[in-house]
């Protein structure tokens, strides 16, 4: 498709190429190699580090040889989510793009505009020989979505520039100048297995139809968590029907609110109808609770051909339900400094049965290190009280806002002059790499911007095409003024 803004067409051309390359988090080898080859083909200096972060150095255009270097930064990986009925294989299949009026989305998968649009925009800047701009450093980091791994591994001195634009924000007209820090925690609780009586029947219980979303941006929207929904339904049933859990699986990434969860359970044959009745009652209750956020929520039991040699005992099943129910999910505290900002939260992100243990992944965020640590300790304590263990990662620091930033002041003036309106300056609850990059590179002046992106980290992800050109126009004018 062709759009009125010429640079939008160029950016989308590169984005379409990017969507053909597998780049789920921790599987970024192909996209990094592609970028390195692209840089060499265009005679740009390029280097990588031990984790495959890519830095491409682009010379200044005429008249800007003595101007300060501008770092354009984004991440190469994407959250790979798809609908239950999608056969898409993220390890080899290109993303199927769908142009829908003013929006670009994908067919039953996440789009990867988070953060492929940043890569495409940076490439377009680099190739524009007429654009008034200083030298650029295109910094493309790996594995941002699973814990900002690439940014955390950056060595001091890898980049030279001290002015940075991160193109990973999700609302055009917003300048992000601060974000939350985060820690992921893996919990593991053992259980006992036993043979199942012959008068029991195996059923697959599914909870789905939920919207999910980004665990930072959307955590305050009261969306349903499929793991919590399914566990509540099964726990309600376990009050009246003997339930033996054989398996449970739900959620995908640490930063995606779970949309689907399923469990295999054994119940007495003569209690199947009662189980279905209780599930229907719980579904009705939850449909009322989440009618505005997740109107398609469902809970249903299905016949299955699966078999399991053993299952958890009824007592251990109840213990596992208690463990999941008591784990926090959602907003823990709102900021007392910035109205409307979530300060601290947790995402109950994933549950699995593996190696004789129930394994759970949680993701905590906070703009205050002390409260981030306190919430993490609370979650670790739940695992210990359940007879299990917990292991938390190193996490990443919050990005503390600098309201006296010269880059911010210049950006505000340029934006208002271009669009005749004031942009919004914000601190967000999601994690951005700026905090880590700034910590490793003292004196870095940074803002984060981006086109309008809806429903990231889900199959409903879409980018507003018109805002891509607006972000380009703003960035181009900012670069022009750095002479």
Active-site amino acid positions: 77, 144
CB-side exposure of 184: number of CA atoms within 13 Å? 17
Here the tokens at position 215 are 């665990």
Name, in order, each residue with C-beta under 8 angstroms of 465's C-beta and a sequence gap of 6 or more: 3, 8, 12, 99, 102, 103, 104
Q: Three-state DSSP class for 366?
A: strand
| CA 108-470-405 angle, 5° bins | 110
Beta-bridge partner residues of 125: none
Residue 354's SS3 state is strand
Q: How many CA atoms lie within 13 A of 456 on its CB side?
A: 27
Residue closest to 182 by CA, chosen among 367, 2, 379: 367
Q: Count other Cβ atoms within 10 Å, centred on residue 476.
A: 18
Residues 200-236 as b/e (b if ≥16 CB within 10 A, e otherwise) read: bbbbbbbbbbbbbbbbbbbbeeebbbbbbbbbbbbbb
Identify whether the C-beta of residue 299 lies closer than 8 Å to the C-beta of residue 206.
yes
| Terminal Cα-to-Cα distance of the chain (whole angstroms) | 35
Structural element, H or E, at residue 301: strand 298-303
**Contact by Cβ (8 Å): 424, 175:** yes
Q: What angle do CA 175, 176, 179 make, to 5 degrees?
A: 175
Alpha helices in 399-458 (DSSP H): 406-419, 434-440
Q: Which two tokens stand for residue 250?
A: 């739900």
Residue 97 phi/psi, 5-degree rounding, is -80, 145
Main-chain phi, psi angles of 290, to 5 degrees: -115, 25
Cα distance between residue 308 and residue 444, in whole Å: 56
């Amino acid at each position: 498709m062709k759009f009125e803004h010429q640079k939008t067409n160029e950016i989308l051309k590169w984005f379409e190429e990017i969507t053909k390359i597998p780049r789920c988090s921790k599987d970024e080898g192909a996209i990094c190699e592609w970028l390195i080859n692209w840089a060499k083909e265009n005679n740009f200096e390029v280097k990588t580090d031990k984790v495959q972060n890519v830095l491409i150095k682009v010379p200044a255009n005429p008249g800007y040889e003595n101007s300060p270097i501008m770092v354009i930064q984004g991440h190469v990986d994407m959250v790979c989510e798809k609908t239950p009925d999608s056969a898409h294989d993220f390890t080899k299949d290109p993303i199927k793009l769908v142009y829908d009026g003013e929006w670009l989305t994908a067919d039953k998968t996440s789009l990867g505009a988070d953060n492929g649009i940043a890569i495409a925009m940076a490439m377009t800047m680099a190739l524009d020989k007429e654009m008034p701009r200083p030298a650029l450093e295109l910094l493309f980091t790996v594995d941002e979505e699973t814990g900002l791994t690439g940014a955390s591994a950056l060595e001091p001195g890898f980049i030279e520039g001290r002015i940075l634009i991160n193109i990973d924000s999700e609302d055009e007209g917003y300048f992000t100048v601060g974000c939350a820090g985060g820690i992921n925690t893996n919990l593991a609780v053992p259980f006992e297995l036993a043979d199942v009586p012959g008068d029991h029947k195996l059923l697959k219980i599914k909870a789905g139809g939920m919207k999910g979303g980004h665990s930072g941006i959307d955590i305050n929207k009261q969306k349903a968590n499929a793991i919590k929904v399914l566990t509540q339904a099964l726990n309600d049933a376990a009050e009246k029907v003997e339930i033996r859990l054989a398996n449970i699986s739900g959620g995908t990434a640490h930063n995606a609110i779970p949309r689907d969860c399923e469990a295999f359970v054994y119940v007495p044959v003569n209690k199947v109808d009662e189980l279905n009745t209780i599930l229907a009652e719980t579904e009705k209750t939850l449909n009322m609770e989440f009618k505005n956020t997740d109107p398609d929520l469902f809970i249903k039991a299905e016949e299955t051909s699966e078999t399991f040699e053993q299952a958890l005992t009824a007592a251990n099943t109840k213990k596992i339900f208690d463990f999941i129910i008591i784990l926090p999910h959602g907003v823990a505290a709102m900021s007392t400094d910035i109205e409307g900002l979530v300060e601290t939260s947790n995402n109950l992100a994933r549950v699995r049965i593996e190696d004789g243990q129930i394994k759970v992944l949680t993701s905590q965020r906070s703009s205050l290190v002390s409260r981030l640590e306190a919430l993490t300790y609370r979650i670790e304590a739940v695992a210990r009280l359940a007879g299990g263990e917990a292991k938390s990662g190193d996490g990443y620091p919050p990005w503390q806002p600098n309201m006296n930033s010269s880059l911010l002041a210049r950006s505000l003036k340029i934006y208002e002059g271009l669009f005749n309106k004031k942009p919004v300056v914000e601190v967000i609850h999601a994690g951005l790499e700026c905090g880590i990059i700034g910590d490793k590179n003292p004196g870095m002046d940074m803002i984060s911007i981006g086109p309008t992106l809806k429903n990231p980290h889900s199959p409903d992800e879409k980018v507003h095409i018109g805002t891509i050109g607006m972000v380009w126009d703003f960035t181009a004018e900012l670069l022009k003024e750095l002479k």
